[in-house]
Structure 1
Amino acid sequence: MPYCPKCGVELEHTVKNCPLCAFPMPKINDDANQPVYENKFPQPENIYFENLLKIKNQVFFTLSILIFSAVLVLMTIRSFFRVIPPAITYSIISVISGWFYISILFGYIRSKYYSTLSLGFITLCLTYGLDHVDGKLTWFYSYALPITILAVLVLLLLLYLYNRSRLKNQFVFVPAHLCISISLFSAALECILDFQANRKIHLSWSLIVFIVLMSIALILISLYYKLPDRIKEKIKRTLHI
């Protein structure tokens, strides 16, 4: 308890003036008397992603140096030695395209949709360059362009279906959506090949692939929605999913 600094009488905490000598009581900060504890433990910080990004950048930088060194070597060989210029040109185009593929696969484009579109664009540039080495375009417009566009559309569809069902049981929906995408791609691919070969569009092998994969997809999806919850839980426990 506090005491009056003038007369020494014992006082209550709420008293502002001494009742004996009327001396005003000074304000005492109780927090100042409490011991201050220093936190000796470091602040927790997750540096895993920072270290992973640093390693990824170092690997990409190393690969970039190797790739552009290879391009310079190939260009030097083409300029001075004149050894099969078309083959050297094919190699230069492929190596440069490989660098762009690696940059996308390393995840520098965060959006999966933009990454898919970028992969399609790089593939179109690669196939155009390979077909245009001899100064003529023979198979780019007839095969490379429609097949690449088809593959990009199928991948975008697969990403869309995956994003819609990513909160559900992926053990069921990922294989089902993959089967649907492959079946559609195979059917459209055979149509493109028949059309470019000036043949009547007739589904043969792609029809078999389409029926089998679509049946598997429908079975998986129907089992997920039609099975009772008790059986679903039993299957999950059995398969550890």
Structure 2
Amino acid sequence: MPYCSKCGVEVDQGVEKCPLCQLQINGMEEDASPPQKYPDVPVESPKKASMTPEQKRIRAWEIVGATLLIPFLIIVFTDLIANETVSWARFPMIALLLAWLLATFPLLFAKRPLVIIAGEVLSVLIFLVLVDYLHDWVIDWFYKLALPNLAVLILIASAVTILSTQVKRKGANIAAFILFGIGALNLGLDLIIMSTLAGKITMKWSLFVLVPCFIIGGFLLYLHYRFKNLNQDIKERLQM
């Protein structure tokens, strides 16, 4: 609101002279904008530097290594103090080393799937060889049981993975492929174990797993391909 610069009296808008001292009033308009609090520019909090995905994987790898190193050292020193030699600690030691290797390959070679698969398989093979050898210093059951079972596992897992990635329309068929793989894996393990123990190829328990897996898997395939437009029909009906 305008005011007289001489006597300080506030006057109404449009008044040209002060009613008290008759001094000419300069036209002053009230500032329509409300006063702003200091500071005018908001202060932004400093942004923390974000880690890249590669740095996050390396950090996770370091944490896994440190976490596994603690029980590793405890086991080694406990065995040394109790027996003055490394005896029973050999087996948990190599198990911890296997866990470290299984975590190392996917964390350090995340963009190289072939390296991950080869490293994981090789790590498991070495672990099984060491478990067999450290038991009685002779490699015995590795060739008869461990290696054939691992080969069956790799073969079936590869087949399920290829089927799951090659199909165009994914859904219940993926679950069916996994169930078929589980049934086939149990069948292979049963045949290998029984042929080693009984000396002849026979099935003992795998049918109890194989039959339900194949029945449920077949039903899922039927639903997936028989009612392939079922999801779309349901969505259209819900939108009506």
Query: 5 Å matches for 1:1-241?
Result: 51-68=52-69, 71=72, 82-83=83-84, 85-106=86-107, 108-112=109-113, 114-133=115-134, 134-165=136-167, 167-169=168-170, 171-227=171-227, 229=229, 231-234=230-233
Distance 1:114 1:72 in 2: 29
Distance 1:236 1:206 in 2: 41
1:99-120: CA deviation from partner (whole Å, max 9, x where unpaired)? 1011134362434455334322
Shift of 1:139: 2.0
C-alpha contact (below 8 Å) 1:172/1:220 kept by paired residues? yes
**Letter of the aligned partner of 2:100 in structure 1?**
W
Q: Select between 172-181 and 197-206 the one with higher mean Cα deviation.
A: 197-206
**Letter of the aligned partner of 1:121 in structure 2?**
L
> Secondary structure at 1:85's aligned position in 2?
coil
Structure 1 residues 207 and 70, CA, compared in 2 at 3 Å: closer, same or farther? closer
C-alpha contact (below 8 Å) 1:67/1:99 kept by paired residues? yes
**Letter of the aligned partner of 2:190 in structure 1?**
E
Shift of 1:190: 0.6
Identity of aligned residues (%): 16
> Secondary structure at 1:137's aligned position in 2?
coil
Shift of 1:194: 0.9
**Aligned residues between the structures:** 188
Aligned-pair RMSD on alpha carbons? 2.9
Q: Please tell me whether Structure 1 or Structure 2 has the larger radius of gyration of its CA atoms.
A: 2
Structure 1 residues 70 and 227, CA, compared in 2 at 3 Å: closer, same or farther? closer
C-alpha contact (below 8 Å) 1:179/1:214 kept by paired residues? yes
C-alpha contact (below 8 Å) 1:100/1:122 kept by paired residues? yes
C-alpha contact (below 8 Å) 1:116/1:152 kept by paired residues? no
* Equivalent in the alignment of 2:33: none
C-alpha contact (below 8 Å) 1:113/1:156 kept by paired residues? no
**Letter of the aligned partner of 1:206 in structure 2?**
S
Distance 2:201 2:155 in 1: 21
> Secondary structure at 1:197's aligned position in 2?
helix
Structure 1 residues 191 and 88, CA, compared in 2 at 3 Å: closer, same or farther? same
Mind listing any 5+ residue stretches in structure 1 that lack a counterpart? 1-46
Distance 1:107 1:209 in 2: 37
C-alpha contact (below 8 Å) 2:133/2:139 kept by paired residues? yes
1:171-194: CA deviation from partner (whole Å, max 9, x where unpaired)? 312101101111111111110011
Please give the TM-score of this superposition, normalised by the length of structure 1.
0.65
Q: Select between 186-195 and 74-83 the one with higher mean Cα deviation.
A: 74-83
**Letter of the aligned partner of 1:190 in structure 2?**
D
Distance 1:84 1:193 in 2: 35
1:54-106: CA deviation from partner (whole Å, max 9, x where unpaired)? 22211211322444565556556666764462312222212221110111343
Distance 2:198 2:55 in 1: 53
Distance 2:67 2:83 in 1: 23
> Secondary structure at 1:115's aligned position in 2?
helix
**Letter of the aligned partner of 2:111 in structure 1?**
R
> Secondary structure at 2:215's aligned position in 1?
helix
Mind listing any 5+ residue stretches in structure 2 that lack a counterpart? 1-48
